Amino acid sequence: MPRKLTGAVFVSLDGVMQAPGGPQEDPTGGFRFGGWVAPFWAEDMGPFEQLIMGQYDLLLGKRTYDIFSAYWPYHLDDPIGALFERIDKYVLTHSDQPLSWQNSRKLSGETAASAVAELKRSEGRDLLIQGSSTLYPPLLSAGLIDRLVLLTFPVVLGQGKRIFDGSQAPGAMKLTDHFVSSKGVVIASYEPAGEVPTGDFGPDDPSAEECARREKIQAGTW
């Protein structure tokens, strides 16, 4: 059986996923709201708690790996730290820098998608992406993410790294689970559902004004 790949993302209402954990986590690009998740965290985080304490290996970009490896091995008294220490960590990187965190493995290939596709075909636990914003566009476009879990926090951040950068291939998603925490965090799970469906709310009986508008669209003057 191929490994399943889940992406679990802390995201703002406007799609930013940068530095949710703390002010020093990732200030690149002048990002100044690091730690925006903490004020909205609650004991009732629904399916995310089951997901994060489940059975999986991690798939990470190099910067998220650097953040995690500088923190979690020093917090083994935390159940998540103990879990992360034990499981395999697959890191997509072109760097020759050694991966010092135990059970870490460099993942390389012609493209990120080809490397992950090969990993999914191998024997082992299912895979979970944490952080790693650069992985989502190519993996979504290649149809390699089997489930997308979005934890949407009630905050607007403006600029910052985003899960969707406009380069991913279009596609429909099917909602498979949802939960709202006591602090207003919406946790929604989605699975790919084929091509984007389109439709119309009524018969196409355009007015003269609408016909003129469409002519302007075709002429590039609208």
Q: Per-residue pLDDT tens for 29-53?
A: 999 999 999 999 998 898 899 999 9
Position with higher pLDDT, 97 vs 65: 65
Which helix (DSSP H) or strand (DSSP E) does residue 193 occupy? Answer: none
Q: What is the pLDDT of residues 154-190, one digit of tens each?
A: 999 999 999 998 888 899 999 999 999 999 999 999 9
Cβ pair 186, 47 in contact under 8 A: no
Six-digit token string for 1:
């059986």
Cβ-based neighbour number of residue 139 at 10 Å: 22
- Give 93-135 as a DSSP string: ----S---STTEEEE--SSHHHHHHHHHHSSS--EEEES-GGG
CA dist 173 and 150 (Å) reads 12
Considering the entire predicted model, what is its pTM?
0.91
Cβ pair 66, 133 in contact under 8 A: no
Determine the pLDDT at residue 95. 85
Cβ-based neighbour number of residue 60 at 10 Å: 24
